[in-house]
Amino acid sequence: MSALTQRNIWILKIIVEEYLETWEVLWSKLLLQKYNLWVSPATVRWDMAKLEALELVYQPYNSAGRLPTSKWLRAFVNYLMQTSPDYFLNESNLNIGEEKIENLSDFVHKVSFELAKNTSEIAFFIIPEKNIVTYSWTWVFLENNHKRLWDSIFSIIKMLEDKFSFIKFIKSFPTNHWINLFIWEENILPFLKDYTIILKQVNINGKIWYIWLIWSLKMNYSFNISAVRWII
C-alpha cells in the first residue's frame, strides 16, 4: 500500500470532522456534495478503500459510507495533545501548593465548576488521601446522554455515590504525570465504552490529585485537552 497522498489526508480529515460533528456515516456522494474536491465519485471511493485498508476508517455495514476507527481517533488525539493551544494558561495557577489554598473544599469545587462551565462537560476533582470527590454539571451529562446510556445511567449514579469505589476506580487507570486520554475500548467501565475520559494528575506537595473530564467521542478535543491541562 502506497503512502497517503495529500488528498487522502484531506478526505480522512473530512470524515473525522463530519463524524465528530454529526455522529453519522459519511457517504462518498455526500462528501462530494458538501466539499469541492475536483475528483470523480470513483476516485473518492478508491481513496476511502485505501484508508480502510490502512485501518483508519471502516464500513459499519456493506454499501455504507465510512467512519473513523479508534486507531485514527487515537492518532488524531495524540496530535492534539502535542499541539493544543494554551487556552487556560495562567501563571498564577502554576506551582500551586496546598498551603496557598485557604479552604480546600471550596477550592476543589471551584476548579470542577470552572472546568465544567468552560467545557460544558461533566468535570471532577478528586483528592484520594482526603477522600474528597467533587463534580459539576452531572445533570447536563445525564440530560444529554440518557437516550444513549439508558439503564447505564443507574450504574453511573451508583459509581458517583460510592465515593471510595470511585476513587479506587480513578486510581486504577494506567496514568502518567501529564495528560491522559482514554477513548472507546480504552475505558475500563463497560458503560463508558462510547465515551472519552481526559484525566490529569496534579502533584501538590508530593500528593497526587486528579482532575477528570468525561464526555462523548464528539467532544471538542482541542479545547478540552487545553482546559484540563491548564486549569491548575
Write down the architecture of domain 6-68 according to CATH. Answer: Orthogonal Bundle (1.10)
- What is Dmax (Cα atoms) for the chain? 65
Question: What's the confidence (pLDDT) of residue 148?
Answer: 75
Homologous superfamily (CATH) for 85-230: GAF domain (3.30.450.40)
Placement of cell 501548593 in the chain: 97
71 and 87 Cβ atoms separated by less than 8 Å: no
Model confidence pTM above 0.85: no
Question: What's the confidence (pLDDT) of residue 126?
Answer: 92
Question: Which of these, 130, 135, 144, lies nearest to 114 by C-alpha position?
Answer: 135
Question: What's the confidence (pLDDT) of residue 89?
Answer: 47
Question: What's the confidence (pLDDT) of residue 125?
Answer: 92
Question: What's the confidence (pLDDT) of residue 92?
Answer: 46
Q: Tell me if 6-68 shares its fold with 85-230.
A: no
Question: Can you give the residue ranges of every domain in the chain?
Answer: 6-68, 85-230
Within a 10 A sphere around the Cβ of 187, how many other Cβ atoms?
Answer: 17
pLDDT mean values, one per 10 residues, the chain (232 residues): 74 79 75 80 85 83 71 73 59 48 83 88 90 88 78 82 86 80 76 81 84 75 81 78
Residue type, 10: W
- Cβ neighbors of 229 (< 8 A, separation 6 or more) are 84, 86, 88, 178, 179, 200
